[in-house]
Amino acid sequence: MNSQPIFRSVLYVPGNRLRMLAKAPTLPADAFVLDLEDSVPLEEKAEARRLVREALISGAFAGRTVLVRVNSLPSGLTADDLKEVVVPGLFGVDVPKVESPEDVREVEELLAWAEGRADLPRGTLRVGIGIESPAGLLRAEAIVRASRRLVSLSLGAEDFTFNLGTQRSSTGEELFLPRALIALTARAVDVQALDTIYPDFRDPEGLIREARLARQLGFTGKYAIHPDQLEPINRVFTPDEAELRWAQEVVEAYDAAQQAGLGSIAVGGRMVDRPIYERARRTLELAARWGVGR
């Protein structure tokens, strides 16, 4: 994943809310998803497309990573969305409610068409895939292998639990297996696993608890729905001082051991072999990416 961008926090911004679109570029999200789907009523879709397009071409998001969440293919609105919002500077699109590789191939065709209209080279735009049904989850590996544009895979928890015939709980047992499968699938194809939103933006402790679980499951970042969620999410997905100290000790000791012809060593009473060394190196690389540590 070193060649891929990495997002700790991804903020959803309703495409029909001009004030929020104006404020978003000042916020500490690693990426933004300007939303044309669930947060926008049907009668406001056209206006949202216009506002999102204007925000993109104005240069307000210059230097920031921006995707647009288009409406799902079954809505019949995807092409209209892409026609308006695919402009130079757009990083990619988030595609919700994907259920099959055929969906992905249809998106690929629409993106190539939209890139041509915008005079962008074919393949410019990246794709984030949202899985929101049991059918989509069971086909997740085939879905993510259907496009070379893929940058992330995520689970839409609210729609998923509805389609599962249950509801989302505060403890999240109903989402543990789906989350784990999303993370495993993303890691298998070397794209980012982005965790679903935490809906109560007035509960930072719950957000932190859920984000820590997501990181432990293998997620690289998490979606946010409110600016106050960004700092806690960034903090959880950034290596802390203790992790950095351990990683530095491991790398230095293992490198020295390799020079001495040793394959494994002990650091702080714990055995260190190649996988642990590689994980420590990865921790230092992530810290450097976010400007923390040495």
Asked if residue 246 and residue 167 are part of one domain, the reply reads no
- Per-residue pLDDT, 293: 63
- Which residue from 131, 172, 136 is spatially nearest to 152, judged by alpha carbons? 131
User: What b-and-e string marks burial along 137-176, b requiring 16 or more CB atoms within 10 Å of the CB?
Assistant: bebbbebbebbebbbbbbbbbebbbebbeeebeeebeebe
- What whole-number percentage of the chain has pLDDT above 90? 78
Res. 268: pLDDT tops 70 = yes
Asked if residue 156 and residue 246 are part of one domain, the reply reads no
Q: What is the mean pLDDT of the chain?
A: 93
Higher pLDDT, 255 or 74: 74
Quote the CA–CA distance of 49 and 55 in Å, as a whole number. Answer: 10
pTM summary value: 0.90
Q: In a 10 Å sphere around its CB, with 0-12 CB exposed, 13-18 middle and 19+ buried, how is residue 127 labelled?
A: buried
Residue 192's identity, in one-letter code, is Q
User: Any idea which of 10-24, 40-54, 273-287 has the lowest mean pLDDT?
Assistant: 273-287
Model confidence pLDDT, tens digit, residues 98-140: 999 999 999 999 999 999 999 999 999 999 999 999 999 999 9
> Among 202, 217, 236, where does a domain finish?
236
- Per-residue pLDDT, 30: 97
Asked if residue 225 and residue 271 are part of one domain, the reply reads no
Rg (CA), the chain: 20
Instruction: Read off the pLDDT of each residue in 233-254 and give the average, rounded to a whole number.
Output: 88
Give me the domain span that covers residue 256.
241-289
Model confidence pLDDT, tens digit, residues 196-222: 999 999 999 999 999 999 999 999 999
Asked if residue 59 and residue 121 are part of one domain, the reply reads yes
> Among 216, 236, 256, where does a domain finish?
236
Does 2 map to a domain? Answer: no
- Which residue from 63, 73, 74, 117 is spatially nearest to 93, judged by alpha carbons? 73
Model confidence pLDDT, tens digit, residues 220-237: 999 999 999 999 999 999
Does 280 map to a domain? Answer: yes
Does 227 map to a domain? Answer: yes
Res. 149: pLDDT tops 80 = yes
Asked if residue 49 and residue 165 are part of one domain, the reply reads yes
Quote the CA–CA distance of 114 and 66 in Å, as a whole number. Answer: 17
Asked if residue 179 and residue 229 are part of one domain, the reply reads yes
Asked if residue 151 and residue 92 are part of one domain, the reply reads yes
Does 294 map to a domain? Answer: no
Q: Which two tokens stand for residue 172?
A: 């999240």
Contact 257, 277 (CB under 8 A): no
Asked if residue 194 and residue 53 are part of one domain, the reply reads yes
Domain count, the chain: 2
Instruction: Read off the pLDDT of each residue in 44-60 and give the average, rounded to a whole number.
Output: 97
> Among 236, 251, 278, where does a domain finish?
236
Contact 181, 131 (CB under 8 A): no
Asked if residue 187 and residue 273 are part of one domain, the reply reads no
Does 211 map to a domain? Answer: yes
Asked if residue 97 and residue 194 are part of one domain, the reply reads yes
Res. 269: pLDDT tops 80 = no
Strands 192-195 and 126-131 come out as unpaired
Does 4 map to a domain? Answer: no
Per-residue pLDDT band at 294 (split at 50, 70, 90): low
Rounded to 10 deg, the angle between the 101-117 and 78-85 helix axes is 30
Asked if residue 137 and residue 98 are part of one domain, the reply reads yes
Asked if residue 179 and residue 65 are part of one domain, the reply reads yes
